[in-house]
Amino acid sequence: MQTYDFIIVGSGSAGSVVADKLSASGRFSVLVLEAGGTDQRFYVQMPLGYGKTFFDPAVNWNYKAEPDPGLAGNADHWPRGKLLGGSSSINAMVFIRGAREDFDAWAAAGNPGWGYDDLLPSFKAMEDNAAGADQWRGVGGPLHITDCSRAVHPLTKRYLAAAEQAGLPFNPDFNGAFQEGVGVYQITTRNGRRMSAARAFLRPAMKRSNVRVETNALATRILFEGKRAVGVEYE
Ligand SMILES: Cc1cc2nc3c(=O)[nH]c(=O)nc-3n(C[C@H](O)[C@H](O)[C@H](O)COP(=O)(O)OP(=O)(O)OC[C@H]3O[C@@H](n4cnc5c(N)ncnc54)[C@H](O)[C@@H]3O)c2cc1C
């Protein structure tokens, strides 16, 4: 049995960021347990591979929802990533932050520091936005964001014009001053490759000697001493 200062179960979006932050100082040893395998796969790295990983049991838990009366009793397919980077390695890469109103509701419910204005500096610090920095967006962070607004198919521009004619406001940046309207969203890619949380946060952390990642490691139990979690059992 080995000991670590921190054990992270799951190397998904959250686990990747936490692994990076906890290991950055070099003072703590960090173990990451991931039930799935590597993200070094062609259809994970290539953005359009999204259509392939959507059902692939090699990288996807392939959950099924309960039958839904609103879907005439059908049970929906619920993909979730099962690999380094978790769902950020199989998701659709759309980069739109949560709605200001939701964060502000958290703060209003008695959680100081969770309002949108409180979080905005962290949002900006996280990103390296190809569109450049402004009041709402950041550059120089670990998560590269691609601005596709000039690269879209000509039909997209017609579609946006039609939407505006129908009365919907044009929105130049869904992470900007307001979120409603029509526009071209930004995506988490860099140089044509998927920018997962693993690529942005976990893989840089894996270069540190105080970080160990075990793949194909399914955590089965958290061990407690009293109210303190002291260990993890895994297969
Ligand atoms: C198909 C799809 C498309 C999406 N599209 C978008 C999009 O375009 N834009 C967007 O912002 N969001 C999108 N999302 C949502 C986004 O990817 C997720 O909300 C986010 O990645 C969730 O992060 P998480 O850390 O909570 O969980 P995950 O990233 O899912 O990480 C959980 C990790 O824990 C591992 N794990 C679970 N149980 C255990 C265990 N017992 N032991 C060890 N490891 C375990 C899993 O294998 C996984 O790697 C999409 C998601 C999917 C599935």
For residue 83, what pLDDT is reported? Answer: 98
From 88, 145, 220, 234, the mutation candidate for ligand 1 (largest count of ligand atoms within 8 A of CB) is 88
* 151-166: pLDDT as tens digits: 999 999 999 999 999 9
> Measured from the CB, is residue 194 less than 6 Å from ligand 1?
no
- Report domain 98-187's class: mainly alpha
| Averaged pLDDT for residues 127-149 | 96
| Averaged pLDDT for residues 36-55 | 97
Q: Tell me how far the alpha carbon of residue 13 lies from the centroid of ligand 1, in angstroms.
A: 6
Residue with tokens 């054990």: 7
Query: In the predicted model, is pLDDT for residue 76 greater than 90?
Result: yes
Ranges of each domain in the chain? 1-93+196-235, 98-187
For residue 184, what pLDDT is reported? Answer: 97
For residue 75, what pLDDT is reported? Answer: 96
Atom 46 of ligand 1, nearest CA residue: 82
| Averaged pLDDT for residues 133-138 | 96
For residue 145, what pLDDT is reported? Answer: 97
Backbone angles phi, psi at 102, to 5 degrees: -65, -45
From the CA of 83, give the closest atom in ligand 1.
49
Same CATH fold assignment for domains 1-93+196-235 and 98-187 = no
Length of the chain: 235
For residue 28, what pLDDT is reported? Answer: 98
Cα→Cα distances 108→45, 112, 113, 123, 162, Å = 40, 8, 10, 20, 38
> Measured from the CB, is residue 93 less than 6 Å from ligand 1?
yes
Query: In the predicted model, is pLDDT for residue 128 greater than 90?
Result: yes
Q: 1-93+196-235: CATH homologous superfamily?
A: FAD/NAD(P)-binding domain (3.50.50.60)
For residue 55, what pLDDT is reported? Answer: 97
* 168-203: pLDDT as tens digits: 999 999 999 999 999 999 999 999 999 999 999 999
Backbone angles phi, psi at 182, to 5 degrees: -115, 150
Atom 23 of ligand 1, nearest CA residue: 13
Per the structure block, which two tokens stand in for 161?
A: 């014009």
The confidence band for 127, taking pLDDT boundaries of 50, 70 and 90, is very high
> Measured from the CB, is residue 186 less than 6 Å from ligand 1?
no
> Measured from the CB, is residue 218 less than 6 Å from ligand 1?
yes
Backbone angles phi, psi at 113, to 5 degrees: 95, -5
Rounded CA separation 132/128 (Å): 8
> Measured from the CB, is residue 138 less than 6 Å from ligand 1?
no
Query: In the predicted model, is pLDDT for residue 1 greater than 90?
Result: no
Q: Tell me how far the alpha carbon of residue 63 lies from the centroid of ligand 1, in angstroms.
A: 12
Average pLDDT over the chain, rounded to whole? 97
> Nearest Cα to 98, choosing from 88, 106, 108, 90?
106
